[in-house]
Copies of this chain bind each other. A is one copy, B any other.
């Protein structure tokens, strides 16, 4: 079977074209949308991601400010900064970068981000709004999976989707988005017994577990669609997915590449969220 590549570039470009226009309209009538990146680490991968967000913001006409708190920031300091930015009317959107300093949990600080500015949907309230089907920002990675599937005309309503991974940033919010699309959803994880049997029952398999090459042909039934959310760094510094692409190619009907699949769509959706937050605030 031919395996279609679910490339994200074209969709990301379409989203960005719209975002750029909306950002320009905001800039004309007042100020450009403004995103604050709060950085409480000195992690190279985080620095690389911050740079890519800076560039994406610039390309879209979004003002982006890096708020460096240093690797020794306490939970109180991080919360105080997030609260200050939440109250600052000149800031439209806030993203907190991970990893957090030792001993600080995301849950200790994320609730200090006002949900109207929580463009990556990390706070408990944002998670709850999503679960309740109320207005709020879903985590961009989870949303990117659904948008990528829709763009490539993969039906979700009534279909059985298996999500491997139950994180608060991908697995759990993705489940809510898939239910909203009327999919039947199975959520599997490290404690699942006989993962290949569970995922082979699904029409669509989403790998969001953070283990390079975990999903092989044994996990996928003939003709299934596979979406790879993994971004694992190999020993040479290359990004690889959670799916063993060589193994599933020829058995799956479609597979999203890593890099170049979910990733670019995630960044484009984050920028769209910034513009949406700015539009709502003004």
Q: What is the interface of chain A, defined by CB distance below 8 A to chain B? A: 107, 123-134, 157-160, 166, 168, 172, 175-176, 179, 182, 184-189, 191-193, 198, 201
Contact = CB atoms under 8 A, between A and B. Distances in A.
Nearest to A121: B128
A184 B186 contact: yes
A160 B198 contact: yes
> Looking at A127, A179, A201, which has the most chain B CB atoms within 10 Å of its CB?
A127
B189 A186 contact: no
Contacts of A131: 124, 127-128, 131, 168, 172
Given A175-B175, A198-B184, A159 B193 contact: yes
A110 to B, nearest CB: 8
Contact of A191 (B126, B129, B157, B191): B157
Please classify the interface of chain A as helix (H, G, I), strand (E, B), loop, or mixed, using the class held by over half of its residues.
Answer: mixed
A126 B132 CA distance: 10
> Looking at A128, A168, A191, which has the most chain B CB atoms within 10 Å of its CB?
A128
Nearest to A178: B187
Contact of A175 (B127, B187, B189): B187
Contacts of A179: 166, 172, 187, 189
Contacts of A126: 128
A191 B155 CA distance: 13
Nearest to A191: B182
A158 B193 CA distance: 5
A128 B134 contact: no
> Looking at A131, A133, A168, which has the most chain B CB atoms within 10 Å of its CB?
A131
27 contacts: A107-B133, A107-B134, A124-B125, A124-B132, A124-B134, A127-B127, A127-B131, A128-B128, A131-B131, A131-B168, A131-B172, A132-B168, A133-B168, A157-B191, A158-B192, A160-B198, A166-B179, A172-B179, A175-B175, A179-B187, A184-B186, A184-B188, A184-B192, A184-B198, A186-B186, A186-B187, A201-B201
